[in-house]
Amino acid sequence: MDEARISRRGLSPRLWLAGGWLLLALLAAIFAPLIATQDPLAQDLMLERLPPFWLDGAEPGYWLGTDSLGRDLLSRLIFGGRIAFIVAFAAASAACLIGSALGLIAGYFGGWADRIISRVVDVWMAFPPVLFAILLVAVLGTGLSSVIIAIAVIDWTRFCRVIRAEAMSQARMDYVESARIAGYGRTGIMLREVLPNVLPSVVALLSLEMGIAVIVEAILSFVNLSISTDDPTWGGIIAEGRLSIHQAWWVLVFPLATLILTVLSFSQFGEGLKTRFDPVLR
Amino acid sequence: MEPCLEIRCLSAVLPNERRVLRSVSLAVQPGEVRALVGESGAGKTMIGKAVLGVLPKSVRIVEGEMLIEGEDLGRLDAKARRTLIGARTALIPQDPLTALNPSRRIGPQMTDRLVRILGWSGEKADKRIRQLLDEVQIREPERVLKCYPHELSGGMRQRVLIAAAFAAEPRLIVADEPTTALDVTVQKQILRLIAQLQRDHGTAILFVTHDLGVVAKISQKVSVLYAGKVVEEAQTADLFASPQHPYTRALIAATPRYTDPYASLKPVDETVLAGLADEIAAADRAWRPSHG
């Protein structure tokens, strides 16, 4: 039994792979100026549409080739990662905080609090999320903080629904009743008894939401509604790559692959963490 | 002597005004075990929950008084009531699987209540918990205190819960079918343990069960419940020797016996049930006028 427990406590391949990719991407983003071989904004029309390094005509120092303006693709991807991660962490944390708090209150207290919060969630979810985001950014104006606010404002409902359901099922457990009998206050029970038991779900959702935030940011960049067009973003690079797909496929394929890998890693990392930290599954 | 728990004429209704408790009266003397017996839905658990102040929101108490050591719960404000219930009562729950917080270790979970609610020092609480774990015959207290609930068996968890219930020296414990969720082999040990601790600590117990065998083993007095109404109340020995109410007789007859394992089970007789229905209806008619 001890052996089985050790193996389950150890990192699963899923956590390893997902965590490894995220760490790599995060470090690259943080140390972008040191790692990037070129200035991501420097145009050089002599070097336009260079292929990636293993194809004929590649230039050393431009590992993944260049786009139609001669900018280095790898450097742009690395700098784009900065924005992706900032948005992922900030927007997902904000959505998590708002959504989990409201979900916990609705699920544990029930009654009026639950009815009001649940109706708001229902109304919220009737809005098509991407259009809602575009509308919000149009109102708030483009820029990093508007993108973050837009994503948080749209996606808090995801946390709210899941955490509400979890809190409700926990609130029915006998240990919550025992705490009532012992004389604990309601808020205290919510924070000390219920919250720790919904935390694994919060963590999993948080990670998943980071992936979703990366996608939404990419979509907003794709339709040119994210931050200023000067800064490289994954969505922006994809939009440019789409225009030159027949001449330079790599400009579309590499950022897409990066995006997919990152989003997938976020969701898998979250699931892996949940399994690892859930006291019952562990 | 002042009863440890006294319930006078307690009635509770559902939102549709149907009564789930019908003028229930009973008293538990200090150090006495009072069994509450009845079939599922008879309101046994409801009485326990009412005493502990954790009735579901849909159930409303419409008349009656509950006194814990002479203090009328109805006259106290919500906070004082919680404090009183927290200090003088405890619960041994039915299902040990959900009665412990899965994300906290046993040790802190047990001491927390003593420290936070009763204001003991951490050291005193810790000592007390170890003493209780010893009393419920847990042999490796060090290991158990560091465990998460899911790392313990059902029987072990129920021992922990019994220890936790007795730890704060409550005057009254509500035991809500504490052996129902356990293996038959473990049931007997747990029952013996509760009886042992009850004698040692002199705690009064309101023992909710549907098992007459358990009633005979543990209680001094028993109330038989049907549809939220006490149909018979007696000393346990008298109840088994000469049951007065036909329903009680039918219940005792329906208990399977080891001496004749192949005998078919006897359901409660139709005429008995019809008689009970009349009795309930009459009680409701008598009750209605004063409450519109």
For residues A170 and B98, what is the distance between their CA atoms, to the nearest angstrom?
Answer: 9
CA distances from A227 to A143, A235, A238, B245 (A): 4, 11, 15, 82
pTM of this structure: 0.84
Confidence of residue A162 (pLDDT cuts 50, 70, 90): very high
- What does the pLDDT profile of chain B (292 residues) look like in tens digits? 789 999 999 999 999 888 899 999 999 999 999 999 998 888 899 999 999 999 988 999 999 999 999 999 999 999 999 999 999 999 999 888 899 999 899 999 999 889 988 889 999 999 999 999 999 999 899 999 999 999 999 899 999 999 999 999 999 999 999 988 888 888 999 999 999 999 999 999 999 999 998 999 999 999 999 999 999 999 999 999 999 999 999 888 888 777 777 777 777 888 888 888 888 888 888 876 455 4
Q: Do B82 and A183 touch (CB under 8 A)?
A: yes
Confidence of residue A279 (pLDDT cuts 50, 70, 90): low
Residue in B86, B102, B116 nearest the CB of A280:
B102
Q: Do A196 and B94 touch (CB under 8 A)?
A: no
- CB–CB of A247/A103 below 8 Å? no
From the list A214, A200, A20, A181, the residue with the least C-alpha distance to B81 is A181
Decide if A57 touches B, using CB distance below 8 A: no
Q: Do B117 and A184 touch (CB under 8 A)?
A: yes
Q: What integer pLDDT is reported at residue A11 of this predicted model? A: 65
Q: What integer pLDDT is reported at residue A143 of this predicted model? A: 86
Q: What integer pLDDT is reported at residue A7 of this predicted model? A: 44
**B99 vs A contacts (CB less than 8 Å):** 173-175, 178
Q: pLDDT, tens digit, for every residue of A88-98?
A: 999 999 999 99
| Neighbouring-strand partners of residue B26 | B7
**B82 vs A contacts (CB less than 8 Å):** 183
- CB–CB of B163/B134 below 8 Å? no
Tell whether the model's pLDDT for residue A10 goes beyond 80: no
Confidence of residue A2 (pLDDT cuts 50, 70, 90): very low
Q: Do A197 and B102 touch (CB under 8 A)?
A: yes
Helix or strand or coil: residue A178?
Answer: helix
Q: Do A174 and B102 touch (CB under 8 A)?
A: no
For residues B36 and B221, what is the distance between their CA atoms, to the nearest angstrom?
Answer: 9
Give me the mean pLDDT over the A188-210 stretch: 93
- CB–CB of B168/B118 below 8 Å? yes
Decide if A101 touches B, using CB distance below 8 A: no
User: Side-chain half-sphere of B282: how many Cα atoms within 13 Å?
Assistant: 7
Residue A255 CB-density burial (10 A; 0-12 exposed, 13-18 middle, 19+ buried): buried
Helices and strands of chain A, counted as H and E runs: 12, 0
Residue B126 lies in a domain: no
Query: Which ranges in A36-128 belong to alpha helices (H)?
Result: 73-109, 111-125
CA distances from A39 to A71, A76, B86, B228 (A): 8, 8, 68, 81
Domain ranges in chain A are 65-277
For residues B253 and B266, what is the distance between their CA atoms, to the nearest angstrom?
Answer: 7
For residues A267 and A95, what is the distance between their CA atoms, to the nearest angstrom?
Answer: 16
Residues in chain B: 292
What chain B residue is nearest to A177 in terms of C-alpha separation?
Answer: B54
**B101 vs A contacts (CB less than 8 Å):** 175, 193, 196-197
Q: What integer pLDDT is reported at residue A165 of this predicted model? A: 96
Tokens of B186: 């473990």
For residues B92 and B160, what is the distance between their CA atoms, to the nearest angstrom?
Answer: 10
**B117 vs A contacts (CB less than 8 Å):** 182-184
Domains of chain B: total: 1
User: What DSSP line would sit under A195-238, residue for residue?
Assistant: HHHHHHHHHHHHHHHHHHHHHHHHHHHHTT-SS-TTS--HHHHH
Tell whether the model's pLDDT for residue A194 goes beyond 90: yes
CA distances from A95 to A113, A141, A155, B164 (A): 19, 20, 6, 39
Q: Do B87 and A183 touch (CB under 8 A)?
A: yes
Residue in A111, A181, A196 nearest the CB of B85:
A181
- CB–CB of A32/A82 below 8 Å? yes
| Mean pLDDT of the residues in chain A | 88
For residues A228 and A223, what is the distance between their CA atoms, to the nearest angstrom?
Answer: 12
For residues A109 and B49, what is the distance between their CA atoms, to the nearest angstrom?
Answer: 19
CATH of domain A65-277: 1.10.3720.10
Confidence of residue A1 (pLDDT cuts 50, 70, 90): very low
Residue A109 CB-density burial (10 A; 0-12 exposed, 13-18 middle, 19+ buried): middle
**B52 vs A contacts (CB less than 8 Å):** 181
What domain range includes position B231? 5-97+172-185+192-291
Decide if A175 touches B, using CB distance below 8 A: yes
Confidence of residue A179 (pLDDT cuts 50, 70, 90): very high
Give me the mean pLDDT over the A259-272 stretch: 93
Helix or strand or coil: residue A103?
Answer: helix
* Gap from B66 CA to chain A (nearest CA, Å): 16
**B86 vs A contacts (CB less than 8 Å):** 181-183
From the list A276, A233, A189, A253, the residue with the least C-alpha distance to A29 is A233
Q: Which CATH number covers residue B203?
A: 3.40.50.300
**B90 vs A contacts (CB less than 8 Å):** 181-182
Q: What integer pLDDT is reported at residue A3 of this predicted model? A: 39
Decide if B102 touches A, using CB distance below 8 A: yes
For residues A191 and A104, what is the distance between their CA atoms, to the nearest angstrom?
Answer: 9
- What lies within 8 Å, CB to CB, of A79 at 6+ separation is A29, A32, A36, A40, A231, A232
Amino acid at B87: A
Q: Could you tell me how many CB contacts below 8 A there are between chain A and chain B?
A: 55
